[in-house]
């Protein structure tokens, strides 16, 4: 895989340190609130971020997953986000934190937020590991890193479902896209 990565943007140690500090920011907001917390990761990109984040969160929480297809197959051009599966949990009256790998145009988060708002949660917030410059900054309440507008892979992020297990976050060589 290494040979297919043009440049490493974020090394695994940097990511781990930021995930720890994000967890502290998130805990500061939710610890004083009454009512339960449910994290809603957007599959599949958020799985590694979620797995690391929840183990740094000293809060009682539940997980309810949603799956959204934004880039079908090997395309890197966003289509209309589609919420593909039902939520596997009840959100009524709960504090909901949507967890995603990357905020690009914001269409995915907007689509998921609208879907979850219909479940009458107590609150909805969003946590993204990465944010690209095109994004409406206000869409994410918690942000790991602001990055340049390049297609990145690794740490859960894929190209055609590959590279999710690459431990760093890197820019894929242009000729592979
Ligand atoms: P939007 O535009 O809806 O995009 O904010 C968010 C979703 O698009 C995918 N995405 C990427 N996936 N490398 C990836 O592997 C990227 O650079 C990238 N940019 C956007 C991702 O699925 C995210 O949830």
Averaged pLDDT, 150-165: 95
What's the pTM value of the predicted model, to 2 decimals? 0.93
Q: Which atom of ligand 1 is nearest to the CA of 100?
A: 24
Q: Which of 6, 68, 79, 101 to mutate to test the pocket of ligand 1 (most atoms within 8 A of CB)?
A: 101
Model pLDDT for residues 35-89, shown as the tens digit of each residue: 899 999 999 899 999 999 999 999 999 999 998 865 555 556 655 666 555 566 6
Q: How many helices and strands in the chain, by DSSP H and E?
A: 3, 10
Around ligand 1, the residues with Cβ closer than 6 Å are 42, 45, 70-71, 78, 81, 100-108, 151-153, 157-158
Q: Which residues pair with 169 in a beta bridge?
A: 10
Radius of gyration of the chain (CA): 16
Q: Is the pLDDT of residue 116 over 70?
A: yes
- What residues are annotated to the active site? 104
Determine the distance separating the centroid of ligand 1 and the alpha carbon of 34, expressed in angstroms.
33
Q: Which atom of ligand 1 is nearest to the CA of 135?
A: 5
Determine the distance separating the centroid of ligand 1 and the alpha carbon of 69, expressed in angstroms.
10
């Amino acid at each position: 895989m290494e040979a297919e990565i043009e440049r490493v943007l974020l090394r695994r140690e940097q990511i781990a340190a930021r995930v720890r500090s994000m967890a502290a920011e998130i805990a500061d907001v939710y610890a004083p609130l009454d009512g339960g917390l449910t994290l809603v990761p957007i599959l599949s990109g958020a799985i590694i971020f979620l797995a690391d984040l929840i183990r740094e969160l000293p809060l009682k929480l539940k997980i309810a997953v949603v799956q959204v297809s934004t880039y079908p197959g090997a395309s890197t051009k966003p289509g209309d986000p589609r919420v593909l599966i039902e939520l596997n949990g009840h959100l009524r009256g709960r504090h909901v934190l949507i967890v995603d790998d990357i905020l690009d145009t914001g269409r995915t988060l907007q689509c998921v937020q609208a879907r979850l708002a219909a479940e009458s949660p107590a609150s909805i917030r969003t946590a993204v590991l990465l944010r690209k410059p095109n994004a409406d900054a206000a869409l994410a309440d918690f942000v790991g890193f602001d990055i340049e507008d390049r297609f990145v892979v690794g740490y859960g992020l894929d190209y055609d479902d590959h590279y999710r297990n690459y431990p760093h976050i890197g820019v894929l060589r242009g000729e592979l896209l």
